[in-house]
Amino acid sequence: MTYPWLDLPATAVDQAARMMLGWRLTANGVVVRLTEVEAYSGLGADPASHAHRGRTPRNAIMFGPAGFLYVYQIYGMYQCMNIVCGEDGVAAAVLLRAGAVVEGAETARTRRPGARNDTDLAAGPGKLTRALGIGKADYGTSVVDGTGPLTITPPDGPVDPIEAGPRVGVTSAHDVAWRFWIKGDPTVSAYRRHTPRRPA
């Protein structure tokens, strides 16, 4: 199987993100069609990236090689997952933001008992990760060689139309249009610009 986004340079992480839309994520008995992604660069010009200030134990996997999972926790409870892109040694990753469950909905419901309906099962980065049963233990596993719990396979045909806009909830680089989604899909996030918390 070929992965056209796998060999793109880190400077083209936005192109890699667009290419991933419509691809199928398979893990732990659930298959999700990817409908929303966000690109993050570590080249110094993207302060919203976890790798903006350089390599740390947390973000080390972002520095390559490409095709591995970067999993991290937000708000002390939710796991988010990214696919590392770009050449080895230069940080870049695509956040997998949302998708539609196309197989294994019953299994996804057991992991997401609070979901309002099946459209909501993987409609957000934390929801998507939980629906697929991915966690911190999966940090650094491959999505392309079959050794990790998550695999990614191409769509059956063209994916369009695709729209682009500002990323959701970031504290810096608010207006960088590196969020991509399949237009009209009900699993896509509503845009919310980040609002800093005020001291109590």
**Residue 1 confidence (pLDDT):** 82
**Residue 199 confidence (pLDDT):** 54
Task: Work out the end-to-end distance of the chain between its first and last CA atoms, rounded to an integer number of angstroms.
Answer: 53
Task: Please report the DSSP string for the chain in residue order.
Answer: ---TTTTS-GGGHHHHHHHHTT-EEEETTEEEEEEEEEEEE-SSS-TTSTTTT---TTTGGGGS-SSBEEEEEETTTEEEEEEE-SSTTS-EEEEEEEEEEEE-HHHHHHH-TT-SSGGGTTSSHHHHHHHTT--GGGTT-BSSSS-SS-EEE--SS----EEEEPPSS-SS-TT---EEEETT-TTSPPP----PPPP-
- What does each of the 200 residues of the chain score in pLDDT, given as a tens digit? 889 999 999 999 999 999 999 999 999 999 999 999 999 888 777 766 766 667 788 889 999 899 999 999 877 678 999 999 999 999 999 999 999 999 999 999 999 999 999 999 999 999 999 999 999 999 999 999 999 999 999 998 889 899 999 887 776 767 788 999 999 999 998 776 655 555 55
**Residue 126 confidence (pLDDT):** 95
C-alpha distances out from residue 137 to 72, 78, 140, Å: 10, 14, 9
Question: What b/e readout covers 119-133, taking b as 16+ CB neighbours within 10 angstroms?
Answer: ebbbbbbbbbbbbbb
Q: CA–CA separation, 163 vs 45, rounded Å?
A: 23
Domains, the chain, ordered by start: 10-182 (3.10.300.10)
**Residue 46 confidence (pLDDT):** 73
Query: Would you say 133 and 111 are in contact if contact means Cβ atoms under 8 Å apart?
Result: yes
